[in-house]
Structure 1
Amino acid sequence: MSSPSARRPWNVRRLPRADGSVFLVTGGNAGIGYFVAEQLSATGATVVLGSRDAAKAEAAIASIRVHVPDARVRAVPLDLADLPSLEATVGALGVDRLDAVVHNAGVALDDPPRRETADGHELMFATNHLGHFALTRWLMPLLSAAPGARVVTTGSFAAKSERLDLDDLQSRKGYRPKRAYGRSKLAQMSFGVELGRRLRAAGSTVASVVVHPGGALDALTPSRPSVHPRTTVGARLGAAPAALLVHGKDAGAWPAVRAVLDPSVGGGQLWGPRAFGLRGEPRPEPVWSHVADTSVAERLWDASRDLTGVDPGTVIG
């Protein structure tokens, strides 16, 4: 029998119900993560925002409830740069199963100097990749307890032109913020694909899907007071020509939302916007060759295990 999604075209504005499901969105208090959380809240699911800033999380919850009055939404403290705290964060979820996690939170630095976490890891690599790698280890028992759970990893178009330097994952040599950011997102995407491969090999019911938002501009994003302030008329007019190629952060959330909800989305797939990978409704696309490189992914996995002291592979099953 074909799935409901196979019988009906996917409609980004008419999502299927997900009552009884529990979804965690890291960085769900701002940007694309906020719109992922808002859209998932409209399905009847319980949505948990992982945020390191309690005040911003409460503002996001209040905004979601304005747009989804019956939203079941709450927050847990989450600081992906603080690796020892992540096990306690998962305990604070207070659930016996998790239907999906959207690995969305990220740090993007525009200017030098290079910054490190308390553990001595470069900040963007630590937050965008290592934190999600370690968090997955602690979440895996909850994901395995849910039928057909999803790990959805949000990458970036910035990763498409980058390549990992496996001998300098921490960007200690020739540090450039934009390059370090792109590589951290590439590491995150490579992990998502490799996680999917290992889950399938183990016969797990958990699926790992990688998505990217395309080009998502603030000026094309609908206003959410206290979360995403209204852009000026001048900024909106200035961004109008760009709307032919890119879209707002609300649309940038669509691939992740579909990867969570659509049963036809398969593990190991990459989803992005339909038009040139930059704007429009979500579609599957070929996994970028450098993201699909298993030899690089295996070396990255081993390095991530050594740097974090945990291994998601030990709890896959």
Structure 2
Amino acid sequence: MSSPSRNQPWDVHRLPSAEGRTFLITGGNAGIGYFAAEQLAATGAVVVLGSRNRAKADAAMGSIRSRVPGARVRHLRLDLADLPSLRTAVDALDLDHLDAVVHNAGVALDDPPRQETGDGHELMFATNHLGHFALTQWLAPLLSAAPAGRVVTVGSFAARSERLDLDDPQSARDYRPKRAYGRSKLAQMCFGFALDRRLRAVGSTVLSVVAHPGGALDALTPSRAPVTVTLPGERLRSLPAALLVQGKDAGAWPVVRAVLDPGVRGGQLWGPRVFGLRGRPRREPVPSHMADPDAAARLWAVSGELAGTDPDLGFR
């Protein structure tokens, strides 16, 4: 572990100690979420894997413990597509404070038909955005009770080329899976920036930060059996792509920095250094369409109505 001095360059392989802190990662059993959990567990923090699948969470916790001696990891049953269940899930955390939540879990569908949750919401918009929006409300007291709580929202490079349609936020009239996914991630990122503005307005000590993994491929990701298995042939065939993109272990670096770095400020965007696609984490300019306060206000109102949340999400 390295000291958290702001004068030292950030080293992804020498993270500052987070002993005594607790982090919740939604979707922490796979992909970017798994590697963020593994890296954060190595700092001495308690890491809670939010996952609806107990068996997958157990596999992820076993993998982390095999690589991080003394890792303190636990599972929280969490289904972001089931909005009414979220308050009960947060109660099950049984914590007096939470130092950070990483809004990472997501669904990406490649093919029609359009799918809905039990509440009647389009599945990707509901899981990727509405579930995290509602979860934030129930976590607000725990985050506010921490000395310096953080909400880290994991966005996607796919959001850069999309624009929100707040007259049809759930793609009921014109459903195209890839576009619906990109818009759901854009909604997440807009929410992360809007949340920070609202937190600052009420004088909260909680920070809201947005991060994205760049281009993160399974084929360039180191194996963590049984969580993820990359065959040598797959990795060899993908080596030319490594000039532009990276594995999901490296894709987790901006997320981990957004959680840990004492120099990070609310409202910032963190991503990979090389063209926003690969490399060590750095701060990026926030694209104008993600920071538009008028669009964000409309998104906030629509999200609150669909999720049935308090207008201030419990931050006052």
TM-score range, shorter chain: over 0.9
Give 1:312 shift: 6.0
Amino acid of the structure 2 residue aligned with 1:82: D
Amino acid of the structure 2 residue aligned with 1:28: G
Spell out the pairing of 1:271-286 with structure 2 (5 A cutoff).
271-286=270-285
Give 1:232 shift: 2.4
Alpha-carbon separation, structure 1, partners of 2:135 and 2:48: 15
Alpha-carbon separation, structure 2, partners of 1:174 and 1:316: 35
* Matched-pair contact (CA < 8 Å) for 1:273–1:282: yes
Aligned to 2:129, what secondary structure does the other structure show?
Answer: helix
Amino acid of the structure 2 residue aligned with 1:248: G
Amino acid of the structure 2 residue aligned with 1:176: R
Amino acid of the structure 1 residue aligned with 2:79: D
Alpha-carbon separation, structure 2, partners of 1:209 and 1:239: 31
- Is residue 109 from structure 1 mapped to residue 145 from structure 2 by the alignment? no
Give 1:6 shift: 1.7
2:140 is matched with: 140
Name the CA shift for 1:243/1:314 in 2 (closer, same or farther; >3 Å).
closer
Alpha-carbon separation, structure 2, partners of 1:147 and 1:243: 39
* Matched-pair contact (CA < 8 Å) for 1:155–1:211: yes
Give 1:233 shift: 2.6
Aligned to 1:25, what secondary structure does the other structure show?
Answer: strand
1:9 is matched with: 9
Amino acid of the structure 2 residue aligned with 1:304: S
1:244 is matched with: 243
- Is residue 41 from structure 1 mapped to residue 51 from structure 2 by the alignment? no
Aligned to 2:241, what secondary structure does the other structure show?
Answer: helix
Alpha-carbon separation, structure 2, partners of 1:79 and 1:312: 22
- Is residue 32 from structure 1 mapped to residue 32 from structure 2 by the alignment? yes
Name the CA shift for 1:144/1:312 in 2 (closer, same or farther; >3 Å).
farther
Aligned to 1:119, what secondary structure does the other structure show?
Answer: coil
Give 1:315 shift: 1.6
Alpha-carbon separation, structure 2, partners of 1:78 and 1:312: 23
Give 1:234 shift: 2.5
Q: C-alpha offsets along residues 228-259 of structure 1, whole Å, 9 cap, x if unaligned? A: 11x22321122111101110000000011001
* Matched-pair contact (CA < 8 Å) for 1:136–1:312: no
Give 1:314 shift: 4.5
2:55 is matched with: 55
Give 1:313 shift: 1.3
* Matched-pair contact (CA < 8 Å) for 1:140–1:312: no
Aligned to 2:255, what secondary structure does the other structure show?
Answer: helix
* Matched-pair contact (CA < 8 Å) for 2:271–2:284: yes
Aligned to 2:267, what secondary structure does the other structure show?
Answer: coil
Alpha-carbon separation, structure 1, partners of 2:124 and 2:4: 39
Q: Please, what TM-score do these two structures have when normalized by structure 1?
A: 0.98
Aligned to 2:289, what secondary structure does the other structure show?
Answer: coil
Consecutive unaligned residues of structure 2, counting only runs of 5 or more, are none
Aligned to 2:171, what secondary structure does the other structure show?
Answer: coil
Give 1:104 shift: 0.1
Alpha-carbon separation, structure 2, partners of 1:299 and 1:100: 26
* Matched-pair contact (CA < 8 Å) for 1:137–1:312: no
Q: Which runs of 4+ in 1 moved over 4 A?
A: none
Give 1:174 shift: 2.0
Aligned to 1:39, what secondary structure does the other structure show?
Answer: helix
Alpha-carbon separation, structure 1, partners of 2:239 and 2:313: 49
Q: C-alpha offsets along residues 70-104 of structure 1, whole Å, 9 cap, x if unaligned? A: 10000010000000000001001110000000000
Alpha-carbon separation, structure 2, partners of 1:4 and 1:249: 24
The percentage of counterpart residues that share the same residue type is: 73
- Is residue 261 from structure 1 mapped to residue 269 from structure 2 by the alignment? no
Aligned to 1:109, what secondary structure does the other structure show?
Answer: coil
* Matched-pair contact (CA < 8 Å) for 2:140–2:313: no
RMSD: 1.0
Amino acid of the structure 2 residue aligned with 1:239: S
* Matched-pair contact (CA < 8 Å) for 1:22–1:45: yes
1:270 is matched with: 269
2:128 is matched with: 128
2:294 is matched with: 295
Give 1:7 shift: 1.4
* Matched-pair contact (CA < 8 Å) for 1:216–1:252: yes
1:205 is matched with: 205
* Matched-pair contact (CA < 8 Å) for 1:214–1:278: yes
Alpha-carbon separation, structure 2, partners of 1:312 and 1:270: 24
Q: Please, what TM-score do these two structures have when normalized by structure 2?
A: 0.98
For this pair of structures, how many residues does the alignment match?
A: 314
- Is residue 308 from structure 1 mapped to residue 268 from structure 2 by the alignment? no
Alpha-carbon separation, structure 1, partners of 2:234 and 2:294: 44
Alpha-carbon separation, structure 2, partners of 1:132 and 1:56: 20
Give 1:4 shift: 3.9
Give 1:268 shift: 0.2
1:152 is matched with: 152
Consecutive unaligned residues of structure 1, counting only runs of 5 or more, are none
Amino acid of the structure 1 residue aligned with 2:194: E
2:179 is matched with: 179
